Structure 1
Amino acid sequence: KKWNPGHAFSLQSIQLRIATRGIQLLAPGGLMVYSTCSMNPVENESIVAQLLQTFEGHISLVDISDKLPGLQTIPGLTKWCIMGKNKEVYNSYEEVPPHMQSLARPNMFPPSQDILERLHLERCIRLLPHHQNTGAFFVALFRKLDKTVEVSSTQEETSQKRPAEEITFNEDGANFKRARYHRENPFIFFNEKDITGFWQEISEFFGVDPSFPADQMMTRHAADSGRNIYFVSDSLKQIVTLNQDRIKFINMGVRLLVRTDLRNDKDKRSLRLSQEGIAIVNKYFTKRRIVIEEQDLINFLSHAFTHYANVSQSVQKQLENMSQDLGSTICTFTIKQHNLEVPIIFVAWRGRSSFRPFVSHSSRKFYLSLLNIDHSTINDIIEKLTIEEKASNEPRIEGKTNNEPKIEDS
């Protein structure tokens, strides 16, 4: 909720320094990909244009439009405007008011037409979410032609003097401040002992299919004491394993399991499923699953807790046939609309007398809208839900690992 378009003003200088250093370190003939998950040209085409002008004659922009056949893309922009914090639009630097000129700089706007023709920004590609159900991405590929000279600037020198620091920004997209990196423990992949020991009990509890690739799970501590258990693809595992001593990996993987505050820390129930990883485990975890009805879904999404007395008879019967242990449960429901089936899958905690779904407010709104509930009613539901959560002192979204709810009491 703190995001605004003005953040790009601060990000642009950081991204430009990173990309500049990448070009300097690149060997002649080498390739460098510059990619963001933003559609803001201030973070994309303006960076590419600045690099091509700074290293003119030393680097070139590679046309990659035909490198990924079947992938729907659009060319990079050659004309754009920039947007401020309050969504005010500036078509040129001359339109930027004086109080904004320290943030919105000339190099954020398109260069002149004669320069644009030399840069060939159309060789960049943009991936739009609605074209093939993906995230939004910008990609540019540079080739280094020969050795480049060092770029000297106050920002470059400052960033090199403080290699262990990062730049953050406030809500206005200004006022840089520096903060030390948090030291992270290295990632540790599950070994054979973990899989046949610690993981075996978890696997039996959730009925995990033997084909599940448990060796692709990892933690930052020993497997039986890690706060979070993550999952990565086999190819990423190989990259990490081969480069653990050469590269510091800060963050990666999808969180599958999160440790709770159950009194017996070694108990199999002390790890709950993470909503973040439900799409991965769904086809492998065969136990502790319930198929809910539409009214159950509405109740679950409308309240922080739903008592068993308020669930459908179908769900009550499924609960009778399930292990009575406290712990995570996978809830599924299929919405059928216009000859389409939309599966909804989410994690809920089965307590002693109630369910607690781990679904964010934004997802709740989306699911309720799929049930054709009007927006005003949805807003009322979320408002009442927020009051419930505050009253029970429960965080609304999973993942606050330093403030885990004591869900054994529910």
Structure 2
Amino acid sequence: MRITPHLQDTGGFFVALIEKVSDINYDPAAASGPAWKKKKMFKDEPFTFLKEDDERWHDIRNHYGVDETFQYQNLFSRRLETNDANSRQLFYANDAIKNFVKENMAKVSIQNAGMKMFSRTEGKVENTRFRLSQEGIRYLFKFMNKQKVKIGAEDMLYMLKSEENLVPLEKLECKGDVRKQQNGTVVVYCDEDEPVCTWQKICKRVGYHTIAPYISKEERLHLLRMMGVDCAEIELLMKSKRKEKAAQDREAAWSRKQEEEAAKGGSEPSTSAAGAPEEAPGPSDAPGSESAENPENIQEMASE
């Protein structure tokens, strides 16, 4: 069975059911392998979970008004504990994944786990060090009491359809409510009549005059479909732009290759078919010179 998320040609997940038919004799020593092989194994980045009263969580909770029932100690970074304070991203895992990771981190190679929920920002105009991530906003939204605004469907459609990276707030009816929020990330959502469109939550980065969606093109298409918009023309435009960009990249790469070959050929002396460098003709050997060999000169030399 193949499950394709959003039907957007982005790959799929294959689910298989495995049935255990008999017990096996498990030998931990044999399964772990020799000691010399362990030393050569690549060490994965550790999972460092937030501790109680972490100052980063106080910053996030106060800015976004996160409810106390949110299990913030399930947030983690992929840095060593000594450098955990400088981590740029915070991920979230449920209790089951957290327990599995903590129990098996030294035994099993775990590449990825959880979902990204916060990213550190260096913006000077924002009142918090962390912005929200679209990947984790669907779970965090129900715990938030600040930095979220309910907007109309027309404003949502305008932002999703707009080709501008920064959408002017003056063109939106919700500009007053959005400007009441603090600078940084704001979650906007709308209420639709159809059940699939009841809650639309999009993570936004907002300034006083503009608002910018923090979503990918594929996510934007998905939300437009959920709101009943025909996206065939938009998809065709996206594909044509991607093909055009790919053709430009190929042409640029070919031009660079030609220039490199031309520069390389001009810097080296030309070689003959045998591989030896060809000597430039001297003044006496130049065509039209008196000493240049011709049939008459050869006859005079022979008679002498």
Q: Which band: TM-score by shorter chain?
A: 0.5 to 0.7
C-alpha distance in structure 1 between counterparts of 2:213 and 2:5, whole Å: 28
Deviations 1:22-50 (A, max 9, x none): xxxxxxxxxxxxxxxx63xxxxxxxxxxx
The answer to whether structure 1 residue 217 and structure 2 residue 78 are counterparts is no
C-alpha distance in structure 2 between counterparts of 1:246 and 1:284, whole Å: 34
Partner residue in 1 for 2:49: 189
Q: CA deviation at 1:352?
A: 4.2
C-alpha distance in structure 1 between counterparts of 2:241 and 2:145, whole Å: 31
Partner residue in 1 for 2:188: 331
Partner residue in 1 for 2:121: 260
Partner residue in 2 for 1:206: 64
Within 5 Å, give how 1:10-29 maps onto structure 2.
Answer: none
Q: CA deviation at 1:385?
A: 9.7
The answer to whether structure 1 residue 375 and structure 2 residue 237 are counterparts is no
The answer to whether structure 1 residue 137 and structure 2 residue 15 are counterparts is yes
Partner residue in 1 for 2:169: 308
C-alpha distance in structure 2 between counterparts of 1:385 and 1:348, whole Å: 25
C-alpha distance in structure 2 between counterparts of 1:329 and 1:273, whole Å: 8
Q: Specify which structure has the bigger relative contact order, considering alpha-carbon pairs within 8 angstroms and separated by 6 or more residues.
A: 1
* Aligned 8 A contact 1:205 1:268 in 2: yes
Q: Which has the higher strand share?
A: 1
The answer to whether structure 1 residue 317 and structure 2 residue 176 are counterparts is yes
* Aligned 8 A contact 1:128 1:137 in 2: no
**Relative to 1, partners in 2 of residues 1:224 and 1:309: Cα closer, same or farther, differing over 3 Å?**
farther
Partner residue in 2 for 1:346: 202
Output the aligned Cα RMSD.
3.5
Normalized against structure 2, the TM-score is what? Answer: 0.62
C-alpha distance in structure 2 between counterparts of 1:354 and 1:204, whole Å: 24
One-letter identity of the residue aligned with 1:245: A
C-alpha distance in structure 2 between counterparts of 1:143 and 1:307, whole Å: 63
The DSSP-based 3-state class of the residue aligned with 1:208 is: coil
The DSSP-based 3-state class of the residue aligned with 1:138 is: coil
The answer to whether structure 1 residue 273 and structure 2 residue 132 are counterparts is yes
C-alpha distance in structure 2 between counterparts of 1:239 and 1:285, whole Å: 28
Deviations 1:35-80 (A, max 9, x none): xxx63xxxxxxxxxxxxxxxxxxxxxxxxxxxxxxxxxxxxxxxxx
* Aligned 8 A contact 2:74 2:93 in 1: yes
Partner residue in 2 for 1:291: 150
Q: CA deviation at 1:209?
A: 0.6
Aligned residues: 222
C-alpha distance in structure 2 between counterparts of 1:376 and 1:243, whole Å: 46
C-alpha distance in structure 2 between counterparts of 1:204 and 1:385, whole Å: 42
Deviations 1:208-247 (A, max 9, x none): 1111101111002345321110111112212222333333
* Aligned 8 A contact 2:196 2:226 in 1: no
One-letter identity of the residue aligned with 2:19: L
C-alpha distance in structure 2 between counterparts of 1:141 and 1:353, whole Å: 59
Q: Which has the higher helix share?
A: 2
Q: Quick check: which has more Rg, 1 or 2?
A: 2
Runs of 4+ in 1 over 4 A off after TM superposition: 127-130, 144-148, 180-183, 380-386
C-alpha distance in structure 2 between counterparts of 1:226 and 1:246, whole Å: 24
Deviations 1:267-289 (A, max 9, x none): 75331111110111011111000
C-alpha distance in structure 2 between counterparts of 1:261 and 1:204, whole Å: 18
C-alpha distance in structure 2 between counterparts of 1:306 and 1:220, whole Å: 34
One-letter identity of the residue aligned with 1:226: S
Deviations 1:320-370 (A, max 9, x none): 4323xx211111112223x66532111011134211111221221222233
Q: Which runs of no fewer than 5 residues in structure 2 stay unpaired?
A: 7-12, 27-36, 243-304
* Aligned 8 A contact 1:275 1:358 in 2: yes
C-alpha distance in structure 1 between counterparts of 2:238 and 2:154, whole Å: 17
Partner residue in 2 for 1:25: none
Aligned with residue 249 of structure 1, among 110, 114, 122: 110
